Every structure is written in C-alpha cells, then in structure tokens.
Amino acid sequence: MKIALVSPYDWCVEGGVKTHIRHLAASFRSWGHEVVIFAPASDAERVRDEVHVMGRPFSMRVSGSVARITFAWKSPEVKRVLQEHRFDVVHLHEPLMPLLPYYFLRHSHAVTVGTFHAAKEGGNRFYGYTTPLTRRWFRKIEGKIAVSPAAAKLVSRYFPGYFNIIPNGIDYEHFAGPAEPFPEFMDGRKNILFVGRPEKRKGLKYLLKAYLRIRQQEPNTRLIVVGAGDFSRYERVMAPFPDVVFRPNVPYADLPRYHKSSTVFCAPNTGNESQGYVLLEALAAGDAVVASNIEGFAGVMTNEVEGLLVRPKDPDAIAAAVLRLLRNPGLRETFGARGRELARHYSWDNVAHRVMSYYERLLYERQQVAETRARRAALAGSGR
C-alpha cells in the first residue's frame, strides 16, 4: 500500500501530531508499506531525509497553544506529487488546519482520511470562524478519526458526523520496561512527579500550591518538576523551598528513570487535553496517578480504578488525593498494576494496526461502490 501522511505543523518542532505520524510511519514501513510524510519545516535541510518539505511555517495561536503552520502556495506541487506517487491512502492530521491539508483535499483522488487531535472545552474559535469556508473540504474526507471522545466532541460541534475513535499511542515498552531510578532521589523521601510544559493549561501552579499543603503534613516529601521549556518564573517563586526540584529539557531516554524515582505522579492539567501523553506514559510506568477530572483524562482512566481524578484548579483536592496515596502503599501498588495493564492497549503497535485496518475497510468500501456502479452501467448499456 502507498500511503501519504500529511502534517500541517512545523516538522522541526516536537509535538503530539508529529509523534503520532512518526510512529505510524515506522509501523507501516516495518510491515512493507510505502510511506511518504509531507510537512512544512523551519529548517528544511535538517529534516529533508525524513519528510517531503512543503513550505516554511509561521506561528499562529490556536486553542491555548502556538501552532507553526505554512501559508505557502503549494497547490501545484501537491498536485504533482499526488500524480507522481498515486497513493492508495492520503491521511491528513488536523485536516482543517491551514493551509497544506486543503491542497491535498483539493487534488487527492485516493482514499482520504483525516485525524482530529485537538480538544478544547467551550469550543474552538478557529473552527467557528472558518466553518463556512472549510465545510466543502470536510465533505471530501472519507474516513474520519478522532483520537479521543474529547476530540470528537470538539470537531462534531462544527462538523456533525461519525468519528472513529482511534487514540494516540505511546511507546509502551519504553516506559513499562526496566529503568534505574536516580540515586539522588532515593534518599528516603517520597517523590511527587510532574511532567509537562510550562503552559498555563498544564496546571503546575495548582500543584505547587498543593505541595505547600502536602509538605506541612508530610515533611519528608519532594516535588520533581520535569518538562520542556523555561520554568524560571516558577523556580523564582519556589526558591525558598529546596525540596522542589526543577529538571527542564530532560532527554526522552531519561523519562522512565524519573517515573521509577517517583512515589506519586500528578497531572494537574486544567483542560483542553485531547488525551494526554504524559498521563498514559505514567500509567505505563506503573505510577500511582493523581490527575485532574477533565474530559481528556477521564476518557482514559477511571477514578478509583487506575488512579484518582480530582477537581481541576483545586489545590486542596490535589493535596488530599496525593496525601492519600503517599500514606497508602497498597493502594499505590494496586493502581499501578491496573494502570500498566490499561496503558498496554495504547501501544503504538495496537494503534497502528487499528489505523491500518481502517484504511483497508475504506479501500474495500470504495471498491464495492465502484463495482456496483460498473454493474449498473453495464446493465444500462445492455438495455436490461
């Protein structure tokens, strides 16, 4: 099978959509399929061996984050590569983001699939403003995938219809496999772990407030903050508390070691999470998890089954749940075992097989439609 995977986002910047596409491509290629990735890139030479570069991206604020997308005129080039490759499937990720996916929708004659990744409580202004223009392109998407119920809820608010739920995957073996904890954190303290970017919606400020309550009742604790980005404003605020440790820009290879060093993992995100990689990675690692009861997280784990879900933006609720787990090793072990088993279903191998099965179903349905039309045309031609 010949497959095109299209991203509207800068391939030189790490993100959930890029991770999703990269893992799908690796799985499909390992099964013998031909895959070409199309995406804009801010440093085309650096990624030219990995993707077919389509334009230079610019920053645009969308759904509480900054998206780097291209507005380059690529219609002739898209038309050319589609004619050259004659793909069986063209799979667009965030197919209604400008501008690259529109060109593929316009010129593709292959089975066209769209995966919607974003989730945002209260709606999406971008979808709201552009719906009159993008409705015609939405109709050209034959296979519609949402990575979570939260993502399906957002897009169906503007474009009603059926969405096949196929989640984001995780590198399950990377997090579930053996890893050595960091000796510096194995000093008898109980460690609370946060993993995430220093964005407002990640809710770190609420965890920091909760931690000040936690350390009053359990002084023998430590908060470890891990993530990509600049945490300096948080570091300044927490400077009087040396038991709050910041580890920015941690290599991906080291993340399992931080999970193995933790006693409790906390995801205090406030919303707009489609599914939550960090939550699934923590579950795969066997962590005892406290997470905000937001739609994206509640669609993954169940309260009091794989972990604890608490009210968002509530430091008292976060502190109470973390303290409960810190004081109950048996409950931590139970949640950890259940969470690891749940996360197994989100392995990239499982996800890629589900996507491939969807491709095959869509190709079969298109073939059936073509055969039915051919039979009707033959009957009409024979005068029967």
Structure tokens at 358: 């969807």
Say if residue 208 is in the same domain as residue 146.
no
Contacts of 40 (CB under 8 A, 6+ apart): 8, 9, 10, 11, 53, 54, 55, 56, 57, 68, 69, 70, 72, 100
Say if residue 24 is in the same domain as residue 110.
yes
Q: Count the domains in the chain.
A: 2
Structural domain of residue 372, as residue ranges? Answer: 2-169+349-378
Say if residue 45 is in the same domain as residue 116.
yes
Q: Tell me, what amino acid is at 249?
A: N
Distance from C-alpha of 225 to C-alpha of 202, rounded to nearest angstrom: 12
Q: Is residue 384 part of a domain?
A: no
Q: How many other CB atoms are found less than 10 A from the CB of residue 135?
A: 12
Q: Is residue 178 part of a domain?
A: yes
Q: Tell me, what amino acid is at 2?
A: K
From first to last of the 384 residues of the chain, give the pLDDT tens digit: 999 999 999 999 988 899 999 999 999 999 999 999 999 999 999 999 999 999 999 887 665 567 789 988 899 999 999 999 999 999 999 999 888 999 999 999 999 999 999 877 665 666 666 777 788 889 999 999 999 998 999 999 899 889 999 999 999 999 999 999 999 999 999 999 999 999 999 999 999 999 999 999 999 999 999 998 899 999 999 999 999 999 999 999 999 999 999 999 999 999 888 888 899 999 999 999 999 999 889 989 999 999 999 999 999 999 999 999 999 999 999 999 999 999 999 999 999 999 999 999 999 999 998 889 888 888 887 765
Q: Is residue 235 part of a domain?
A: yes
Say if residue 179 is in the same domain as residue 112.
no
Say if residue 84 is in the same domain as residue 165.
yes
pLDDT confidence of residue 59: 83
Q: Is residue 129 part of a domain?
A: yes
Say if residue 22 is in the same domain as residue 88.
yes
Instruction: State the DSSP H helix or E strand holding residue 162, giving kind and residue range, or none if neither.
Output: none
| CATH code assigned at 50 | 3.40.50.2000
Distance from C-alpha of 226 to C-alpha of 193, rounded to nearest angstrom: 8
Say if residue 96 is in the same domain as residue 242.
no
pLDDT confidence of residue 98: 87
pLDDT confidence of residue 23: 95
Pair 278, 262: CB distance under 8 Å: no
Say if residue 300 is in the same domain as residue 313.
yes
pLDDT confidence of residue 287: 98
Say if residue 116 is in the same domain as residue 194.
no
Structure tokens at 175: 């997090």
The DSSP bridge pattern shows strands 57-62 and 65-70 to be antiparallel
Say if residue 27 is in the same domain as residue 158.
yes
Say if residue 97 is in the same domain as residue 186.
no
Q: Is residue 374 part of a domain?
A: yes
Q: Is residue 383 part of a domain?
A: no
pLDDT confidence of residue 65: 62
- For the entire predicted model, the pTM comes to 0.85
Say if residue 156 is in the same domain as residue 298.
no
